[in-house]
Chain A
Amino acid sequence: MSEAANSETMDQTVAEPLLECDGVYVTFPRYGAEEAVALRDVSLTISRGEVLGLVGESGSGKTMLARAIMRLIPQPGAITSGSVTFEGTNLGELDPEALRRMRGRDIAMIISNPRGELDPLQTVGQQIGNVLRYHLDLNSKDVRERALDLLKQVSIPDPQRRLDAYPHELSGGMAQRVVIAIALACSPRFIISDDATSGLDVTVQAQVLELIRKLVSERDTSMMFITRDIGITAHYCDRIAIIYAGEIMEVADRGVFFDDPLHPYTVLLLAAFAQNERLRRYWLGEDKVRENSGPSAVGCAFQNRCVRVQQRCLAEHPVLTEHRPGHFVRCHFPVERP
């Protein structure tokens, strides 16, 4: 393991946060009911050059966090408190036009299922070109050259021909590369990869992940890597955050995270991959099937699925605390190694 080397680079980069979320709440008003909270008190920092893995199950708020950073919360939801600061600028204070200029140029997004998200009526070249044209003010000739260059960088086979291809003519892997090319087009300083490889075959997935990692480290771009697969983060992320029911449950450097997880939910996620049958059964709580295993409103959000739940967890909402230097956890009774 190159853990020592890894933590060294961490020390260098931690000094200057590129992006900082501070106590972000996203809520959706509901008729005749209490508003739905999609994100609750989310605080995260991402340093320059750092790749942060954000792991959570479906509906945990991963994508909502990405959209909160981009300031594109779907109606009628809104960021009701907290702030997102990017390179010292509070994004909440920018006007819509400045935000628009920031999206795609400074903060770019790599999406999943790109074949459904690209415009079906425009060629790959036009869609890459749009971003170049409206962010960098390039003329048509330069746009085409740059687009071709980008396609080469994401190692698409036969880039010249793909430039004039339509999205429906691309394979899933190729479409994914096109989306990466669009994300890289303006050399952004921060990239959010939202479950970017979930729709791909395992082999293609590995290729694409490797490509993202290579391109990101070459450019010293920071990244938030959203995924449902905790295994992927072990290979591609410097630091890992766990999100559950809109709350950050644990944040730690990669080495510590996998060696010494503190939150029962993290252990559950890791145990799901474990070979040891007893370990897996204990943490997944197979013998404790509960009626209501969804997130809870009072007390700890994870209480209904936690095998270590105690009286305090039902009544008191835990806060995210720094258990060890650089290792944050939101739990009254963190898992300690014997």
Chain B
Amino acid sequence: MQILSYIGRRLIFVAPQLVGILLVTFLLLKLIPGDPAVMMLGPFATDEGLARLRTELGLDHSIIKQFGIYLWRVIHWDLGTSWQTTMPVTSDLAQRFPATLELVTLSLLLALSIGMPLGVIGARSKNGIIRKLVEYYGLAAGSLPDFWFGLVLIFIFYTILGVVPAPLGRIDFTIIPPPEVTGSLLIDSVISGNWLALRNALGHLILPVLTLGLINAAPILKMTMSTMDRMLEADFSRYAEMCGLPDRVVARKALRNSLPSVITIVSVLYGFLIGGAVLVEIVFSWGGAGQYAVQGVLNADLNPVLGFVLYSAILSLVIYLIVDLIYFAIDPRTR
């Protein structure tokens, strides 16, 4: 019951939060020099033509009024069209956002399954050689640029060994993708029973997921290790030792007490990677949401950028809500 009222209270604040995020983004984008009308009509446009297009686009209004108009459309779930793709932003994002989500989710699962165990092992083998190795991994993964690491992986596994498909998108051109249901190629292939597409999509996922997973395991590893260090020094661990509980039981208690920090860093990474994976998306021609937004910024194409921000903001809010619910589940003090 408490949880439901908590969720209710959180949801009340969602709308104003989203409007605030959109307003800030809108103003920031308007600060960037660049006139969509000039971009759209090219270098040989006449002044009258430009003026007419500006009026059509509503660019002659004050910024506040422009924002009001945009907001009105957003409420009716019309995010405008992108002049680059000439498609509605909603349908563009419906295709691209799941691509990014699929990539980021799998990458973080991999990062978590690498970072957390290594962090625990590192914290448990104090002063040991294993801890040194774990620390070196954290340092190396934390300092390598992900796009460069992705290129190295492509060079090794595609160019030299040839064991993975070409880094050109999510699925081979020759393969007919499954009908779109969720937007995730993996899930859609399973739904339609298209095993060929599933295998191919998995093949395309391997390298980008490996890239992002191995790199982003570093912050998870460091957070797990430092929190575990603290928890193993904590009073309750000392007391558990005094009670003669086996080391693995003491470690398990410490890990459970460390989970909130680990979950927090994963949620932060999740929100960050939706846009932050863009360099890796470019390297693998992924056609994800980050790429779409960056193209928008570069070409003064406002609607895709705002749409991307809106989607990411909603996603982040959902993630933070889920994180809070997980806290609820694991820590009785928050109930």
Contacts and interface: CB of A to CB of B under 8 A. Distances in A.
A326 interface: no
B244 A121 contact: no
Given A116-B235, A120-B333, A168-B332, A135 B240 contact: no
Interface string A104-118: 110011010100111
Interface residues of B, number: 20
A121 B330 contact: yes
Interface string B304-335: 00000000000000000000000000111100
Contacts of A113: 235
B242 A72 contact: yes
B239 A118 contact: yes
A119 B235 CA distance: 9
Contacts of A105: 244
Interface string B212-240: 00000000000000000000000110111
B253 A119 contact: yes
B256 interface: yes
User: Which of B239, B241, B243, B333: most chain A CB closer than 10 A?
Assistant: B243
B245 interface: yes
Given A117-B238, A119-B257, A103 B243 contact: yes
A121 B256 contact: yes
B249 interface: yes
B242 A103 contact: yes
Contact of B243 (A116, A131, A166): A131
B240 A119 contact: yes
A238 to B, nearest CB: 24
A62 to B, nearest CB: 15
Interface residues of A, number: 26
B243 A118 contact: no
A168 B333 CA distance: 7
A166 B332 CA distance: 7
A235 B257 CA distance: 40
A103 B244 contact: yes
A131 B245 contact: yes
Contacts of A241: none
Contacts of A131: 243-245
A156 to B, nearest CB: 18
B333 A130 contact: no
Contacts of A118: 236, 239
Contacts of B236: 116-120
A116 B253 CA distance: 14
A121 B235 contact: no
Nearest to A169: B332
A182 interface: yes
Contacts of B331: 120-121
A104 B245 contact: yes
Interface in B94-132: none
A166 B334 CA distance: 12
B246 interface: yes
A135 B253 CA distance: 17
A282 interface: no
A104 B238 CA distance: 12
Contacts of A102: 244
A163 interface: no
Contacts of B235: 113, 116-117
Interface string A157-189: 000000000101000000000000010000000
A102 B207 CA distance: 51
A111 B257 contact: no
A288 interface: no
Given A116-B235, A166-B332, A121 B257 contact: yes
A100 B242 CA distance: 8
B99 to A, nearest CB: 38
Contacts of A168: 332-333
Interface centre among A101, A102, A111 (most CB of B within 10 A): A111
Contact of A130 (B247, B249, B330, B332): B249
A62 B285 CA distance: 67
Contact of A72 (B241, B330, B333): B241
Nearest to B126: A75
Nearest to A70: B242
Contacts of A108: 243
B244 A100 contact: yes
A101 B244 contact: yes
A111 B244 contact: no
B240 A134 contact: no
Nearest to B241: A72
Q: Which A-B residue pairs are the 10 nearest by beta carbons?
A: A104-B244, A103-B244, A104-B243, A117-B239, A166-B332, A119-B236, A117-B235, A109-B242, A100-B244, A116-B235
18 contacts: A72-B241, A100-B247, A101-B244, A102-B244, A103-B242, A103-B243, A108-B243, A113-B235, A117-B236, A119-B257, A120-B257, A120-B331, A121-B256, A121-B330, A130-B240, A134-B246, A166-B332, A168-B333
Interface of B: 235-236, 238-247, 249, 253, 256-257, 330-333
